[in-house]
Structure formats: structure tokens, C-alpha cells
């Protein structure tokens, strides 16, 4: 479930679920920054638990620490966990909730643009392992995802760009009206834009369309991975944000599709024009790392499933020999 401008709707969800205990999980920095939200939630019976900031939380040792906190606060099968934060918090809470007591309920309250339109939807949870991104995880949907656009106003420009990576992707794979809405916007002005709610809603609908068609990510849902096959390797190699890496991945995957005569050059040109108008600078020196692609979850033997764009709003999946991909890179 998704609701705009409605952190207060949490009360209705909790009245329905009647949890025996409530644990709010967030990072130390976010707990300070989001004091207004925690106050607005106003749950005297809730316990607030801290996890590390950023990707450091997505390690097995931190999952162990969180599970121990669940035990120390007597979280039982009828308790509920609230993930208050960005995609990392959502991933960690979702995964920990999925394995604790074989599954306890959790609620997503995403506070970044990226999480609001992408990672908080679809039920994918994961942590990193042995230096590889999202290697251990589960499909475990929350009982509710509460989206409140008021969080966006406190984000930095880089965090807005992070979300724009996934928003732009949604426009290219399914809904080109998103791209039209973005044409007169900039990353700086987007948090105050009257179009923001509509852009968020449209991007969420794209994500939900593919999730509803293919929850376990065995076919059609893999179209959502446009920009991610190469983007994930760029993210790890250069330690840049996920959304910015996806933008780089989209540009480089479009080049591969062009060389294979699957996508017209105009698609990449249109993406570059949009990025320029949004004020998003691109470092073309950043290149994907082939060895990391060999650990991609979309790899089946020597073949990898790669989304390609026929034109804005129309995407499909192709199978590409991974050794051929190496030549393209």
C-alpha cells in the first residue's frame, strides 16, 4: 500500500494490525534529522533502535546485532518493526524481519526520493556479502509502505539526483509522461515543484506494474533492472550513489543496445539532453567492471538477461552472452 503526505496514516495501520510491541529502526544521523517525524508518529510504546548510516548497515555482522536487539526488546511474532529511512534502512529491516522468528511484520516509511519511488516497493530485501551488492536476501513485502513527500524537502541535491536515476528509468521503460514532466524541472527545484507528487505517483505505478506481474523476478520484472547490470558495478567501483550509478548504467547499456542494432541512437541522445536540462553532470570516464558482472543475479550460465529500450516507454528483455558483453565494455 502507498499513501502520499500521510505519515499519520501509520496509526490506522497499527490499529488494524494490533501489534504486541513496536520497534522503530533508523540510523543515528536520521534519528536526529527526523525528530519531527518520530514526534509526529508519537508512539509512546515504541522502542527506537539505531543501525549504522549508509551501506555499512548492510553487512551480516550488523544484521546479527539488529536481531539481538529484537530479542532484547522481546519482539514476538505479533510485534511489528518500522523502517524509518532510505533504501538501506528498508533493506536491512526487511531482511532482518524476514528471518526473525521465520518472519515478523514490518512497515516501510521511506524518507528518500529513491526509496519512495523504488526500493520501498516490491518486497525485495537484501544485504551485501563478500564485497558484492545485495548477494543475500529474500522476497518479503511490508504490510504497508507509507510515502510522505514532505521528507523530500530536506534532501540534498545529490539525494534528489539519486532518486531521479530511478524516476528517469521508469519513464524510459514504461511511462514516457514522466519524462515529459521532468523536461521543465531541475534537480535543484524538484523538491518544491508542484509536479513532484505526480512524478512520484507515476514512478511508483511503474514499479508496481512489474512487481504485480512478476513478484519473484523471474521474467518481466527484470525490465526494472535497466541501467542496473552495469550500474551496480560502477556503484561499487567508484563508490557513488545508487541512482547516479544507474544513470551511468543506462547510458552505457544504451550504447551496447545501439551496437547490437536494438535501440536507435536517438534514445541515448534524448536521455543525455534530459540529464543536461535537469542539471545532472555525467562523468563519462566511469566504466563498468566486468568481473563484478559475473556475480550479477541475472546471470544464467554464460548468459545474462539485459533490458533494452526499443523507444521511450517500450522495453524488453534480451539474452546476451556474457563474453560478448565483455567485448562491448
Instruction: Work out the pLDDT band at 110, boundaries 50, 70, 90.
Output: very high
pTM score, whole prediction: 0.91
Average predicted confidence (pLDDT) for the chain: 91
Rounded to whole angstroms, the Cα distance separating 155 from 189 reads: 12
Question: What's the whole-number mean pLDDT along residues 11-26?
Answer: 94
User: What CATH code is assigned to 2-152?
Assistant: 3.40.50.1970
Helix H or strand E segment including 124:
strand 124-129
Helix/strand/coil percentages in the chain, nearest 5: 55, 20, 30
Q: Comparing C-alpha atoms, which of 178, 302, 184, 304 is closest to residue 253?
A: 304
For residue range 129-142, what is the model confidence (pLDDT) as tens digits?
988 888 899 999 99
Instruction: Work out the pLDDT band at 323, boundaries 50, 70, 90.
Output: confident
Rounded to whole angstroms, the Cα distance separating 159 from 156 reads: 5
Identify whether the C-beta of residue 311 lies closer than 8 Å to the C-beta of residue 242. Answer: no
Given this model, what pLDDT does residue 8 score?
Answer: 79
Ranges for all domains in the chain classified under CATH 1.20.1090.10: 157-328
Instruction: Work out the pLDDT band at 94, boundaries 50, 70, 90.
Output: very high
Given this model, what pLDDT does residue 317 score?
Answer: 94
Alpha helices (H) along the chain: 10-17, 28-33, 35-41, 60-72, 87-99, 113-114, 157-173, 177-182, 196-213, 228-238, 242-259, 265-278, 290-293, 322-328
Rounded to whole angstroms, the Cα distance separating 197 from 149 reads: 7
Please state which of the ranges 19-23, 200-204, 232-236 shows the lowest mean pLDDT: 232-236
Longest dimension (CA), the chain: 60
Ranges for all domains in the chain classified under CATH 3.40.50.1970: 2-152
- Sequence-distant (6+) residues with CB within 8 A of 253 are 226, 227, 229, 230, 306, 307, 308
For residue range 218-262, what is the model confidence (pLDDT) as tens digits?
899 999 999 998 998 899 889 899 999 999 999 999 999 999 899
Identify whether the C-beta of residue 242 lies closer than 8 Å to the C-beta of residue 87. Answer: yes
Identify whether the C-beta of residue 125 lies closer than 8 Å to the C-beta of residue 25. Answer: no
CATH fold group of domain 157-328:
Dehydroquinate synthase-like, alpha domain (1.20.1090)
Which percentage of the chain shows pLDDT scores above 90? 73
Helices 228-238 and 242-259, interaxial angle, to 10°?
130
Identify whether the C-beta of residue 230 lies closer than 8 Å to the C-beta of residue 252. Answer: yes
Please state which of the ranges 114-123, 148-157, 185-194 shows the lowest mean pLDDT: 148-157
Measured in whole angstroms, how far is the alpha carbon of residue 265 from the centre of its chain?
Answer: 28
Given this model, what pLDDT does residue 298 score?
Answer: 66
Instruction: Work out the pLDDT band at 5, boundaries 50, 70, 90.
Output: low
Given this model, what pLDDT does residue 1 score?
Answer: 45
pLDDT over threshold 50, residue 217: yes
pLDDT over threshold 60, residue 329: yes
- Sequence-distant (6+) residues with CB within 8 A of 49 are 23, 24, 25, 26, 66, 69, 73
Given this model, what pLDDT does residue 41 score?
Answer: 81
Identify whether the C-beta of residue 254 lies closer than 8 Å to the C-beta of residue 267. Answer: yes
For residue range 283-304, what is the model confidence (pLDDT) as tens digits?
999 988 777 776 666 666 678 8
pLDDT over threshold 80, residue 153: yes
Given this model, what pLDDT does residue 55 score?
Answer: 87
Which percentage of the chain shows pLDDT scores above 70? 96
Q: Comparing C-alpha atoms, which of 23, 89, 100 is closest to residue 56?
A: 89
Question: Which has more pLDDT, 205 or 28?
Answer: 205
Given this model, what pLDDT does residue 294 score?
Answer: 65
pLDDT over threshold 80, residue 52: yes
Amino acid at each position: 500500500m502507498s499513501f502520499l503526505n500521510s505519515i499519520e496514516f501509520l496509526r490506522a495501520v497499527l490499529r488494524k494490525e494490533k501489534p504486541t510491541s513496536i520497534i522503530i529502526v533508523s540510523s543515528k544521523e536520521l534519528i536526529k534529522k527526523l525528530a519531527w517525524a518520530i514526534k509526529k508518529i508519537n508512539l509512546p510504546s515504541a522502542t527506537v533502535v539505531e543501525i549504522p548510516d549508509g551501506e555499512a548497515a548492510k553487512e551480516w555482522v550488523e544484521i546479527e546485532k539488529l536481531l539481538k536487539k529484537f530479542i532484547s526488546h522481546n519482539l514476538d511474532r505479533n510485534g511489528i518493526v518500522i523502517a524509518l529511512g532510505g533504501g538501506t534502512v528498508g533493506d536491512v529491516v526487511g531482511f532482518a524481519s524476514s528471518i526473525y522468528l521465520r518472519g515478523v511484520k514490518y512497515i516501510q516509511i521511506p524518507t528518500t526520493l529513491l526509496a519512495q519511488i523504488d526500493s520501498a516497493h516490491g518486497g525485495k530485501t537484501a544485504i551485501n556479502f563478500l564485497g558484492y551488492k545485495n548477494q543475500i536476501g529474500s522476497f518479503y513485502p511490508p504490510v504497508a509502505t507509507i510515502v510522505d513527500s514532505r521528507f523530500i524537502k530536506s534532501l540534498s541535491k545529490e539525494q534528489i539526483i539519486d532518486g531521479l536515476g530511478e524516476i528517469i528509468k521508469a519513464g524510459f521503460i514504461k511511462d514516457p509522461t514522466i519524462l515529459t514532466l521532468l523536461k521543465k524541472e531541475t534537480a535543484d527545484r524538484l523538491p518544491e515543484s508542484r509536479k513532484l507528487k505526480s512524478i512520484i505517483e507515476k514512478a511508483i505505478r511503474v514499479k508496481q506494474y512489474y512487481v504485480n506481474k512478476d513478484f519473484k523476478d523471474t521474467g518481466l520484472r527484470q525490465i526494472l533492472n535497466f541501467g542496473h547490470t552495469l550500474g551496480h558495478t560502477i556503484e561499487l567501483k567508484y563508490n557513488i550513489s545508487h541512482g547516479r550509478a544507474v544513470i551511468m548504467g543506462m547510458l552505457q547499456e544504451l550504447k551496447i543496445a545501439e551496437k547490437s542494432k536494438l535501440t536507435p541512437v536517438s534514445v541515448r541522445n534524448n536521455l543525455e539532453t534530459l540529464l543536461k536540462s535537469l542539471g545532472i553532470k555525467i562523468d563519462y570516464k566511469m566504466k563498468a567492471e566486468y568481473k563484478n558482472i559475473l556475480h550479477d543475479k541475472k546471470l544464467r550460465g554464460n548468459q545474462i538477461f539485459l533490458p533494452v529500450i526499443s523507444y521511450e516507454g517500450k522495453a524488453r528483455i534480451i539474452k546476451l552472452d556474457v563474453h560478448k558483453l565483455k567485448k562491448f565494455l
